[in-house]
Amino acid sequence: MIIRACLALCVPLVALACHDEAAKLPAPGPVASASAKTPASTFGRPIEAGETLSLVDIAKSPAQYKGKVIATQGTVTRVCQERGCWMAIKDDSGTATVRMHGHGFFVPTTSAGKHARVEGTVVLMKDGHECDEAEALDAKLELDATGVELM
């Protein structure tokens, strides 16, 4: 009898509390259109560089970009199948090997074929990889990535 009386009092109170909480929620915003480009997945730090350089622009004068943080993009052609600690990207003008800075993050090993936007530091000299496989075919550039967006 006491349980039934408690339930009779508690159920309306819970419903009222839920209604009050729902009233405090902000109204839903506009729905993004299907054409809006948002990254499907982000790894590492968010990309903050404004301008995106093509791989060919960087390869024309790599010394100008050595040690500088840049953003570039391309299609992922290869990925380290061990952990995703490096990948190769390609655009219409060239290729680059991209390693994840300090193994602080990894990309999925299934990333090949996806479009990637990468922010990182241009590295001119090979400084020893844990993964010898990281040498992308015909890659002229190496980037030490701090952030990767896969779309």
Looking at the chain, how many residues does it have? 151
The CATH number of 41-150, from 2.40.50.140, 3.40.1160.10, 3.40.50.1370, 3.50.50.60, is 2.40.50.140
- pLDDT at 41 > cutoff 50: yes
Parse the chain into domains and list their residue ranges.
41-150
Residue 140: the pLDDT is 67
- pLDDT at 31 > cutoff 50: no
Q: What are the pLDDT digits (tens) for 3-12?
A: 554 445 544 4
- pLDDT at 60 > cutoff 80: yes
Token pair belonging to 54: 């093509």
The residue that leads in pLDDT, 15 or 127, is 127
Q: What are the pLDDT digits (tens) for 82-139?
A: 999 999 999 887 888 999 999 999 999 999 999 999 999 998 655 555 454 445 455 6
* Four-point Cα dihedral 133, 137, 141, 142, nearest 10: -10
For residue 54, give every residue at least 6 positions away whose Cβ sits within 8 Å of its Cβ, in sequence order, or none.
Answer: 72, 91, 92, 93, 94
The three-state secondary structure class of 24 is helix
Q: Which amino acid is at 84?
A: G
The three-state secondary structure class of 138 is coil
